[in-house]
Amino acid sequence: MPPIRRALLSVHDKSGLVPLAAALHARGVELLSTGGTLNALRAHGLPVTAVADLTGFPEILDGRVKTLHPAIHAGLLADRGKQEHLAALAAHGFAPIDLLVVNLYPFSRTVAAGASPADCVEMIDIGGPAMLRAAAKNHTGVTVVSDPADYPELLAALAEHDGEVPLALRQRFAARVFAATAAYDRAVAAWLAREAAGGESEPFPARLDLSLDRLFVPRYGENPHQAAAVYAVHGGGGVLGGFTQLQGKELSWNNLLDADAARRLIARFPAEPAVAIVKHNNPCGVGRGETLRTAWERALACDPVSAFGSIVACSEELDEATAAAIAELFVEVVIAPGVAPAARERLADRRQLRLLVAPPFTAPPGTYELRGIDGGFLAQSSDAGEDDPAAWRVPTRRAPTPEEMAALAFAWKVVRHVRSNAIVVANAVQTIGIGAGQMSRVDSCRLAVGKAV
């Protein structure tokens, strides 16, 4: 492939745009652009040709039609290896476009922000996907980039190969583009289906497409001999609510599973200081109190032996007193909606401890869970509802006392998050015995009662 001579840049996300364009210009590449991208480049003194000047046709319909023109698409789609294609370009006064840099309108972000249907429709990109698909199809002769994160890789290739881009890299870029446009179309289709259903998601659609972005590759999976990767829903809020890790080693597969379980459990106590201690996806203690430290002490009292090497979730900002108490025990992860500066300082010397900040877990209406089986998935609605103890039916001759009812309400919040067979013995402020994962309910009862006494 000859060196890149002509590039079309038209982006919504302008991160890294000017340095990229400047580097291309320095290599003698002719720059073409549209709308806001054109203005941004000209504002930095870069010579750019407007697409409207190239096509001889102005932007119309409030910018809905800018690049949908043969001068653009022929330049992207012409097969450089076919003389008849090149002759057709010349006959019409067109020229090849060697590099396309386009990213799409932020449709998913617009929907997530609660924009009106009309505004969401305006964020359905038409010209962008059309150009991206055309360039990606013709990747043997065209380089296409849709993500600013790929700009450094593109520039490095140009520098290493004297202005050319190797075929293998063009193929990788093209694959990323088709993945991006497919995810974009899925998001639009899902939104339109919700709109058609009056704003409600279809519980279990006839076709379910997953679009996931790989975040990182941990050292191994559940066991050391298993390879693993961590993925996030494309366009979603991020794994564990888009957490921030303040300190500690990289999270492992098991850390993430347990942190998710702990975060889901502690969300049952949104308006009070509460702590959940989780290990192997099961709580080994849950407590609440007037302070977070009191809640920690009550949670730990349930099973202090199992709490070694556990994951701890807090319902509110981690304070210094609670951090000091937690620091007395080896724990793998602490996750909270916030961490006070003094608490962070208190835990700073625990370098193995992974300290995470994440928003409280929520399950929006209509969300469901997937579990893989051979050849497919099982789907079910999220177990996110809350129970009203006042609506419970009491079949026994003696009704529970108010104190017993408070203990039952607390235990019921916890037992939802214990693997079956699940038994929880509790009072109104803490678990005092938990039996989990036994094939027999009797054995789970023996475990729970044994810890309680």
Question: Are 433 and 340 found together in one domain?
Answer: no
Q: Is residue 158 part of a domain?
A: yes
Question: Are 137 and 257 found together in one domain?
Answer: no
Q: Which residue range forms the structural domain that includes residue 294?
A: 240-357
Q: Is residue 38 part of a domain?
A: yes
- pLDDT 10s digits, 224-268: 999 999 999 877 788 999 999 999 999 999 999 999 999 999 999
Q: Compute, in degrees rounded to 10, the torsion defined by CA atoms 281, 282, 286, 292.
A: -20
Question: What CA–CA distance (Å, rounded) separates 158 from 167?
Answer: 12
Pairing of strands 30-33, 6-10: parallel
Q: Is residue 109 part of a domain?
A: yes
Q: So what's the pLDDT on residue 378?
A: 94
Q: So what's the pLDDT on residue 382?
A: 84
Question: What CA–CA distance (Å, rounded) separates 162 from 420?
Answer: 63
Q: Which among 25, 75, 79 is positioned nearest to 54, based on CA atoms?
A: 75
Q: Please list the active-site residues.
A: 137, 280
Question: Are 435 and 307 found together in one domain?
Answer: no
Contact residues for 419 (Cβ-Cβ < 8 A; gap 6+): 281, 282, 436, 437
Q: Is residue 36 part of a domain?
A: yes
- What mean pLDDT value characterizes the chain? 89
Q: Which among 312, 339, 336, 315 is positioned nearest to 326, based on CA atoms?
A: 312
Q: What is the reported pTM?
A: 0.75
Q: Is residue 372 part of a domain?
A: no
Q: So what's the pLDDT on residue 66?
A: 66
Query: Residues 129, 104: contact at Cβ < 8 Å?
Result: yes
Q: So what's the pLDDT on residue 62?
A: 65
Q: So what's the pLDDT on residue 54?
A: 80
Question: Are 148 and 284 found together in one domain?
Answer: no
Question: What CA–CA distance (Å, rounded) separates 51 from 7?
Answer: 11
Q: Is residue 305 part of a domain?
A: yes
Q: Which residues of the chain have pLDDT under 70?
A: 1, 57-59, 62-67, 199-202, 365-366
Question: Are 294 and 411 found together in one domain?
Answer: no
CATH code, domain carrying 406: 3.40.140.20
- pLDDT 10s digits, 19-78: 999 999 998 989 999 888 889 999 998 998 888 888 776 667 766 666 678 878 888 888
